[in-house]
Amino acid sequence: MTWGTADLTALAGHYSENGYVLVKGLLSREEAAAYRQCAHDALATLDDDENATWDSAARITAGTPTRLQHLHDVQFHAAAFSRLLTDQRFTRIAAAVLGGPNVQLHHTKLFVKPPENGSPFPPHQDHPFFPHTYHHVGAAIFHLDDAPEEKGCVRIVPGSHRQGPLEHVEDGGYHLPDVSFDATVPLPAEAGDVLFFSYLTVHASGVNLSGKARTTWLVQFRDPADPPVIRAHDHSRGQGMMLAGVDPTGRRTG
């Protein structure tokens, strides 16, 4: 799909007002299926079977064990994801929501919620994990298969980004104990849809209760002129890669 200036302005306006925008059909269903297969092939090469579930997820599942597979920096495992990082269908929207032409990579994560017991995430902002000075940091979740509510889709508190950074509990993964899971709004998505949201937007996701895995790819990006408050995610080898435009600061990262 080709996005014109008016389209990008509308998407950026929704993002600014609500803290997120769900872009339908950024990838075709066929493309999403190919990336999904590539993602699962990459996971199959790993030697470990780490369960990446946050301990704080237990407050949603009432203690019922769940599982989550993840892989940082999948673009270092599969070249297809390197190409997707600089795909203009993605970078033009990322630039629009940041409000400028320059888009820099912070990190990526691949997530797979297994069937029937795929782990949830409690309500939280991404800000505490890697705070930046001006908060020009966003995320894009690529849906590589369908994500209806029963598969544990992403949930949002619309407009919550306008509250600024909130005080989190760090124990078991940064989370907001005073924000009810039921206060979040489910955003079911289809394969090929991409959800853009601010790192200040409160979000969560539910348990995958379906009979199929839910596969998503998270890309965290920023305006390179927004300096980090602390060094974080130094293990992300791709941090600092320019996805669009230039880095006007000449800052060395990584």
pLDDT of 233 > 90? The answer is no
pLDDT tens track for 96-112: 999 999 999 999 999 99
CB 154 within 8 A of CB 236: no
Tokens 């306006």, residue located: 13
Confirm whether pTM is higher than 0.85: yes
pLDDT tens track for 64-97: 778 888 899 999 999 999 999 999 999 999 999 9
Cα–Cα distance, 86 to 184 (Å, whole number):
31
Q: Which H or E element spans position 7?
A: helix 5-18
pLDDT tens track for 194-222: 999 999 999 999 999 999 999 999 999 99
Task: Read off the tokens for 247.
Answer: 């880095």
Q: What is the pLDDT of residue 244?
A: 98
The CA dihedral of 208, 131, 251, 106, to the nearest 10 degrees, is 0
